[in-house]
Amino acid sequence: MKELRKPDWLKSKKLGAKKTREIIKKLRKYNLHTVCENAGCPNQGECFENGTATFMILGETCTRNCTFCAIDKNKNKLQQPDSNEPKAIAELSKELGLKHIVITTVTRDDLPDGGASQFIEVIKQIRKICRKDVSIELLISDFNGDLEMVEKVVKTAPDVLNHNVETVPRLYSTVRPMADFQRSLNVLHKARQSSTRILAKSGFMVGLGETKEEVLNLMESLRKVGVDIVTIGQYIAPSQNHHPVIEYIHPNVFDFFKEEGLKMGFEIVESAPLVRSSFHAEKARKILFKRS
Ligand code: SF4
């Protein structure tokens, strides 16, 4: 398939280069990683400037094979969870004065609890060490459908529970072959049911071959299980070996999805070509403060 030319609206503003260098230096000191670097996110400078960083726990190797994703999938490199990681994240977050901390992970189907206990330990350490008003957002895997693990994590009191559905159900077999759309919806539903104060969040990409109608149906499905925040961004292929970009969606269409999403009742809809899962994640703080 011929590669499509990237439109001008996908050029990101180069913000926060100094802050990015400073944070990356500190990450290495603590032996930590951010998904911002690993996934080559176009917004990392802006997020770092806004006092947000997305830490990636449980290593840099994933047990799944999503065809859009740049994360390493060499299972020979899988390592046991690092017991120093939770405290290191909390200490670095304190040092950086982060206001909103996002924790994400690769999918660890090889671990009996899917990595849930590491999430729990990270939350405990952050609550112990960091500023009292810090908000915590978790971007979890589906824990292989183990809803008890979802509940356990939610009960440790993160502020936002995010699980991305990534694309419309019809494209799962080619985009997320080892995932299951209904299983992901169940995870979000369980999170919503397990706590009244938590904000449930999900996100997906467009440009993978979905139709507008499929996108609206997907958003309706997310609302039905109680999702409060949705992020919608343009898929950009990390290399020629990844799923091709089928279409560059015009910014007007993103605006249309935003309007429709707000009508459906989402509290926040981040919809624009360069939106990624944690982009403007700190906006959730405003809703949390209003609720408390
Ligand atoms: S599960 Fe997540 S980290 Fe793993 S391949 Fe898929 S998108 Fe990438």
* 64 touches ligand 1 (CB under 6 Å): yes
* 171 touches ligand 1 (CB under 6 Å): no
| Ligand 1 atom with minimal separation from the 62 CA | 4
pLDDT class for 17, splitting at 50, 70, 90? low
| H helix intervals, the chain | 17-29, 35-38, 44-49, 85-96, 116-129, 147-155, 172-175, 181-194, 212-224, 251-264, 284-291
| Ligand 1 atom with minimal separation from the 166 CA | 7
Q: Could you read off the pLDDT of 179-212 as tens digits, one per residue?
A: 999 999 999 999 999 998 899 999 999 999 999 9
| Of the listed ranges 26-30, 70-74, 92-96, 178-182, the one predicted with least confidence | 26-30
pLDDT class for 14, splitting at 50, 70, 90? low
Which domains does the chain possess? 10-291 (3.20.20.70)
| Ligand 1 atom with minimal separation from the 176 CA | 6
Cα separations (Å) of 145 from 18, 114, 187, 252?
A: 41, 10, 7, 36
pLDDT mean over 37-63: 76
Cβ count within 10 A of residue 57? 23
| Of the listed ranges 2-16, 63-77, 92-106, the one predicted with least confidence | 2-16
User: What integer best gives the mean pLDDT of the chain?
Assistant: 90
Q: Could you read off the pLDDT of 137-159 as tens digits, one per residue?
A: 999 999 999 999 999 999 999 99
Ligand 1 midpoint to CA 61 (Å): 9
| Of the listed ranges 25-39, 66-80, 260-274, the one predicted with least confidence | 25-39
Residue 272's φ and ψ, nearest 5 degrees, are -170, 160
pLDDT class for 281, splitting at 50, 70, 90? confident
Structure tokens, 9: 């609206």
Ligand 1 midpoint to CA 179 (Å): 9
As a whole number of angstroms, the distance between CA 210 and CA 88 comes to: 40
Q: Could you read off the pLDDT of 110-136 as tens digits, one per residue?
A: 999 999 999 999 999 999 999 899 999
Residue 283: what pLDDT? 75
Minimal CA–CA distance to 28: which of 88, 104, 111?
Answer: 88
* 275 touches ligand 1 (CB under 6 Å): no
